[in-house]
Structure 1
């Protein structure tokens, strides 16, 4: 999941790189706004059903129950998405007038709108795959096929001269194809043909609070883009989005750990094994911090150089937003998968309340800061609101169940990694300019330095043998150096 997620995130960055090389910032901003509409609409019409499917599949033993769960979610979600698609197609002019600069943007918007039902359909298939605690099929269908096929289409259409419309066609065709691929993989886990037991009330009771929570959470990720489009123009959006997408590599690492964590925690909760959940939470969060730190280290030390190397000189204006948004994401990651844990424990209404409060903070801060500070105002609002969201969820989890990421090993990790490596890397960045040739070298140096400090400073514990054994078994390889520093 981690490798697949990083590949998927990297493909999105390469996609952004290609688009920014072909389109000027204003046109790129139009694309970003269209993608925001697609993301928000998909989250809304999925109705949280993909989460519900993943939760209940791990609790059912009969195939007819599992099959009925998937089919119920698919029918309800696709039906809702078709209604919204019809509404947006007939009222697209109003949306364009609110956030887009050019009236001609409606054609591009329509392509993204048509992709909504396909996105929802393959989300349901991914929810089913997640319910079986299967990582490889999710990685194949979403991270590799969806992102890879979309990228190939995008490049081909850009070369064919489709211009900004190439992005819309690529997203629409890739989503339609992924629906088929994801369901073929799901069919390998359980035959999609056969007797069913439909459970709409049980599924909706769990999922509907989550759709509102997921929606406000998605708004949290998209509202800065939309409000930048409202208060400024598409060119500013075009400068901000590459930095935001680059910083989003950190949440990708977080989600890769959470894909299996959610159904596993749900199963442990059904067995009332809360002590095990607490142990898993501690170890997972510490490794989440370690896995994300090399990337964060580069974002903090080389924001200007990274924007120049990965995009172009036209987009370096967003470099300050990069380290600021990344800091918000990284602090959020340090408290662990609090929302997934609360969802697995059944606290969907609490999640809704926390997400709603965080979105309110985000909207207010954006409204206050964007008119005065532009994209840095949006970056500040995003960082603060994400920290508010995840720290609040963790606080409730800690208060209710005593589940916390803090142990003597994790606290040592949180203090020593940034305390030792960030000052050193910033010192180096003031004397060295990052280039396309030296970037891979610094990536390796950042990873090795992070592992070395964690190993040599006593951040490792006995339970850390478990992820190493899994990696050695699955690849298969042997990792002797790190194991030497794990207490027996």
Structure 2
């Protein structure tokens, strides 16, 4: 667990600094300078590019993590693994680009409003360039995960990217950039972080770009391509689940509604940070556990990470949900407050996702990874159907409810399958204690009186929540890590 703790700590620090910067962007900068439909355009372009990149990558981001342990040999340039990892997806990108450009009339036909359709059309080609660099970033990030070098990729994505995006928004707000210039700068920042990973790989001496025939002998290429095909379908299903709501809100409602939803979606992502920072190192670690057949160690890791995600997730969900008035007040854009209910529903989805643990990563790295395909493809189809039914009836809240149902369904299915197949499940008696502690602490904070000052109300509720929640977690001993930390503090600072 040493490397997990070191890399996990670095990633956690970077992720929370990124959260702070992202909050500054979302609450203070971007909403002050961009209208809701402009926010909707950038979020729609990113959603298109993300799906586009996943299709092009042919599942090789997962291949990079799953098979790298078999290629690892620095003296031999990892036996040509990086050229293999990049080469096949680049061929896939060329094919998908032909389909994407020829399908432009079909895509634009989904947008009913002429103004929205014209905006999407203006930047349709630029989305292809954005997709290329999104794909290259994901492939290089997967390679770095296999090398256990994850902190720098977290830094460029969580911190540097947001600083650059904030700078672009400020330049637009001050009149130095037109809106067209801002969109190109937004795309450029996303592209730049992929290039930085290339520079970083060269810096640490891991940019082994010379193709070798050894890459075709370490593992059967047919097996690699087969895994990639299944990973593609599994990954694209997950990407659809995460992005289709924005696309369908923009097409079924309008770009302005997509902008409101994108802000609500971002607010809810705060709950993903503990799991995201841990998963960066957990994915290759699980691959090694499967290689070594170390199932007892994997089961213990499964339970520990689930408990940790539950403790942090409940606290963050309550902290955000209780203070939405304050958060939206900082944005100084009343139109965005239409997403308040959607935030609460999305928070519930994120919390459930965190509490159910690493089921997806365990399954996709296991010998039975093919079964995950069935779960994901079925769920992606259901998600599209739910959005098609709920968005016209419930608007933004319908998209959030569809996301919640999708997340709950996939996690229940995966958790059951991991237990049924390997007799591993992430829950202990401590999970109900954590949930009960969260409910009591949240209720206590909610009962606090509201002041005329939103800041004062936020500070009071947050203080009560923190004190009551921390006290209950320690009293119930539901988080051994917190109890051990308190005991260590007492030993180092004995009472006078």
Partner of 2:342: 321
Partner of 1:475: none
What CA RMSD, in Å, does the superposition of the two structures yield over aligned residues? 2.9
- Residue correspondence of structure 1 range 6-85 to structure 2 within 5 A: 6-17=16-27, 18-63=29-74, 64=76, 66=78, 68-85=80-97
TM-score calculated relative to the size of structure 1: 0.88
- State whether residues 115 and 171 of structure 1, in contact with CA within 8 Å, keep that contact through their aligned partners in structure 2: no
CA separation in 2, counterparts of 1:463 and 1:238? 39
- State whether residues 305 and 433 of structure 1, in contact with CA within 8 Å, keep that contact through their aligned partners in structure 2: no
Partner of 1:266: 287
- State whether residues 285 and 334 of structure 1, in contact with CA within 8 Å, keep that contact through their aligned partners in structure 2: yes
Instruction: Output one character per residue of 1:55-100: Cα deviation in whole Å (capped at 9) or x when no partner.
Output: 2223434234735222111112223224333543454344233236
SS at match of 1:115: helix
Instruction: Output one character per residue of 1:446-474: Cα deviation in whole Å (capped at 9) or x when no partner.
Output: 45543332112221337985xx69xxxxx
- State whether residues 299 and 322 of structure 1, in contact with CA within 8 Å, keep that contact through their aligned partners in structure 2: no
- State whether residues 383 and 403 of structure 2, in contact with CA within 8 Å, keep that contact through their aligned partners in structure 1: yes
CA separation in 1, counterparts of 2:491 and 2:110? 54
Deviation at 1:320, TM superposition (A): 0.8
Partner of 2:401: 380
Q: Size of the alignment, in residue pairs?
A: 472
Deviation at 1:183, TM superposition (A): 1.9
SS at match of 2:328: helix
Partner of 1:148: 163
Do structure 1's residue 403 and structure 2's residue 403 form an aligned pair? Answer: no
TM-score calculated relative to the size of structure 2: 0.86
**Higher mean displacement: 181-190 or 125-134:** 181-190
CA separation in 2, counterparts of 1:130 and 1:380? 33
CA separation in 2, counterparts of 1:233 and 1:460? 45
Deviation at 1:148, TM superposition (A): 2.9
- Residue correspondence of structure 1 range 301-312 to structure 2 within 5 A: 301-310=322-331, 312=333
Partner of 2:477: 458
Change (3 A) 1:357 1:118: same
SS at match of 1:198: helix
- State whether residues 31 and 331 of structure 2, in contact with CA within 8 Å, keep that contact through their aligned partners in structure 1: no
Do structure 1's residue 168 and structure 2's residue 183 form an aligned pair? Answer: yes
CA separation in 2, counterparts of 1:482 and 1:320? 46
Change (3 A) 1:4 1:448: farther
| Match among 92, 100, 121 for residue 88 of structure 1 | 100
CA separation in 1, counterparts of 2:371 and 2:336? 39
Please list every run of 5 or more consecutive structure 1 residues that lacks an aligned counterpart in the other structure: 470-477
Deviation at 1:234, TM superposition (A): 2.0
- Residue correspondence of structure 1 range 106-185 to structure 2 within 5 A: 106-185=121-200
